[in-house]
Amino acid sequence: MAEAIQNHPLYQCDRAIVDSLLVQKTPDTLSLTNAGRLFVRYSGFPGAYDIKRDLLACLEKWGMSTDELNSACRNIWGSSWRPGDSTEELSVGSGAD
């Protein structure tokens, strides 16, 4: 019997995240952790093949393997970083604010 293809309940939200990852030449901390959690979420999931394909494309663009991504994520989470803790410069405003 063929495997049933399912729709993931978070597909639309996750699709937007993956689309934002695809345009990044160099990932920041949040991007790495987002990619890592989405790899885990869709691992073994029967469907969302476009998301799986595009996550692999991100890693290829970033010059990383899944093992390197997992290692980077472990280091990030091990450093006590949490989403929202970003100290990375925001490119909003004129700089004269």
> Which tens digit of pLDDT belongs to each residue from 6-28?
788 999 999 999 999 999 999 99
Predicted confidence at residue 34, as pLDDT, reads 97
User: Within 10 Å of residue 51's Cβ, how many Cβ atoms?
Assistant: 21
The amino acid at 32: L
Give the pLDDT band of residue 82 (cuts 50, 70, 90).
confident
Predicted confidence at residue 88, as pLDDT, reads 53
Q: Which residues contact 42 (CB under 8 A, 6 or more apart)?
A: 8, 14, 48, 51, 52, 55
pTM given for the model: 0.79
